[in-house]
Amino acid sequence: MFKDRTDAGERLAELVRSEEVTTDIVLAIPRGGLPVGRPVADALDVPLDVVVAKKLGAPGNPELAIGAVGADGSVWLNDALIERVGATDAYVERERQRKAEEASVKATQYRGTGSIPDLDGKRVVVVDDGVATGATTVACIRQVKNAGASHIILAVPVGSPSSIERLHSEADEVICIEAPPHFGAVGQFYRVFGQVPDEVARTYLRE
């Protein structure tokens, strides 16, 4: 159990240091990833920035993620779920374009430009406050990969065991404090897990 996202970030920073991780930049997934990413970036003495993706919601059920798309259009699709909910190719493509634009706008709000930082040949640590389905995490990792990163490490405080296992095939390394078998949702492992407003999340980039 973590007290809050800052506590989780500090404990994740300790683990990352003990693993002797070397990196050029930490990219947090907004909004909840920023309070976690700040202590990690400070511990590694590297810049903190963001990588943004948006969930693709199922028809009539936007909270059910049938995939996710990054600000650059990088996409991950849950084909089995797409078939099960009856989402057409036209629906998926329309949602992909719409959500990619939303992700680009969100990235611009954080860094002033929708484009990801120059990652060509760089080692990158991607941080979030936890992994449930892993949809947005995969889209973010693929975005970083498409930007030319040479090595990608995913670092999270907690995650679903099945999602963490799947993410090993997306990132070069995965560092996770806890992947409990009784996982239900990320928030159950935090005493305080309120929404992080954009204006608050942005302050972590300036620290």
Q: What is the pLDDT along the chain (207 residues), one digit of tens a residue?
A: 899 999 999 999 999 999 999 999 999 999 999 999 999 999 999 999 999 999 999 999 988 899 999 998 889 999 999 999 999 999 999 999 999 999 999 999 998 766 678 999 999 999 999 999 899 999 999 999 999 999 999 999 999 999 999 999 999 999 999 999 999 999 999 999 999 999 999 999 986
The boundaries of the domain holding residue 189 are 5-52+112-206
The residue from 110, 133, 149 where one domain ends is 110
DSSP 29-76: -TTTHHHHHHHHHHHHT--EEE--EEEEEETTEEEEEEEEEETTS-EE
Distance CA 88, CA 49 (A): 35
The pair of structure tokens assigned to 53 is 């993706």
> What torsion do the CA atoms of 24, 29, 32, 36 make, to the nearest 10 degrees?
-20
Q: Are residues 117 and 197 in the same domain?
A: yes
CATH no. for residue 93? 3.30.1310.20
CATH no. for residue 126? 3.40.50.2020
The residue from 110, 137, 153 where one domain ends is 110
Overall domain count for the chain = 2
Q: Are residues 118 and 191 in the same domain?
A: yes
Distance CA 58, CA 139 (A): 17
Counting every residue written for the chain, the total comes to 207
Burial 69-103 (b: 16+ CB within 10 A, else e): bbbbbbbbbbeebbeebebeeebbeebbeebbeeb
Cβ contact 7:27 at 8 Å: no
Q: Are residues 68 and 91 in the same domain?
A: yes
Order of all β-strands in the sheet with 48-50: 48-50, 25-28, 123-127, 151-158, 173-178
The residue from 110, 142, 157 where one domain ends is 110
Distance CA 111, CA 82 (A): 33
Backbone angles phi, psi at 167, to 5 degrees: -70, -15
Q: Are residues 128 and 48 in the same domain?
A: yes
Q: Are residues 97 and 116 in the same domain?
A: no
Q: Are residues 116 and 105 in the same domain?
A: no
